[in-house]
Amino acid sequence: MSLVDFKFEKLIAQKVIRVLYAIVFALLTLYVVVGVAAVVIAFRDSGTPILALLSVAGVILLYFFVLLLTRVWYESMIIRFQMAEDIREIRKKYLA
């Protein structure tokens, strides 16, 4: 099992990052659905549908922006781990 590998030959960070991204995606999506519902309910009785529409559009744009930043952050972390694995392979090849 990878958790009791004290030599750290097999990295589990990429699997953990995938699970974390799925959790962040689900929570963020739930947050946006609740947020859009709250905006619609709040502005339903106010009589300003344009403001409600702009608010919903803003919430959705913010959702995609945060999701994009999260994805880029996690991808950069995975790339670092892949680079470390590649460097380890190069070191084994030329220094062994």
Domain assignment of residue 8, yes or no: no
Domain assignment of residue 73, yes or no: yes
Domain assignment of residue 22, yes or no: yes
Long-range pairs, 74-78, Cβ under 8 A, ≥24: 74/17, 74/20, 74/21, 77/13, 77/17, 78/13, 78/14, 78/17
pLDDT in tens, 5-16: 677 667 778 888
What per-residue confidence (pLDDT) applies to 64?
A: 94
Domain assignment of residue 2, yes or no: no
Q: In the chain, how many domains are there?
A: 1
pLDDT in tens, 34-72: 988 888 887 777 767 788 788 888 889 999 999 999 999
Who wins on pLDDT, 3 or 18? 18
What per-residue confidence (pLDDT) applies to 96?
A: 67
- Whole-model pTM: value is 0.74
What per-residue confidence (pLDDT) applies to 20?
A: 93
Domain assignment of residue 27, yes or no: yes
